[in-house]
Amino acid sequence: MSAWTAEQLETIATTQDLFVAPFREDGTTYGTDTQTWALVVGGTVYVRAANGPESRWYQAALAQGAGRVRVADAYYDVTFEAAGPENEAEIDAAYEAKYPGSSAVPIMQGAGPKSATVRISPR
């Protein structure tokens, strides 16, 4: 597994949206890009599914374990894995810092989205 470069992490950290496209069931066709809010915490990229574990992109990401993301008009082949409760408080704080004043932040800090936190790594 490769690592994000400092430049890629900076782009992800400062760009409002990251679009995820897990593979479809065939394991080769990318799914539809889905808008998410990505965060960088401790050099790791995280996203949460706003609709919790029922989110279709979340379910596909975990089932397939790979796909791609788009950020700032660049595509990256990635792996997806459930993050669990690791860095939960830091991720909550990162949402507040990156999206100050947004009414969506408390939603992303709720139990459903927290239980659907995904770690994204380049492949």
Residue ranges per structural domain of the chain: 6-122
Helix (H) or strand (E) holding 108: helix 105-108
Mean pLDDT for 18-35 is 96
The pair of three-digit structure tokens given for residue 1, joined into one six-digit string = 């597994």
Mean pLDDT for 42-62 is 97
Is the per-residue pLDDT at 119 higher than 80?
Answer: yes
How wide is the angle at C-alpha 79 spanned by C-alphas 21 and 17, nearest 5°? 45
Look up tokens 């065939």; give the residue: 26
Look up tokens 């909550």; give the residue: 92
CA distance 24 to 53: 17
Q: For the segment 65-82, what is each residue's pLDDT rounded down to a tens digit?
A: 999 999 999 999 999 999
Asked if 34 and 67 count as a contact pair (C-beta separation under 8 A), the reply is no
Q: State the pLDDT at residue 86.
A: 85
CATH code given to domain 6-122? 2.30.110.10
Nearest alpha carbon to residue 118 among 43, 33, 36, 42 = 36
- Percent of the chain beyond pLDDT 70? 99
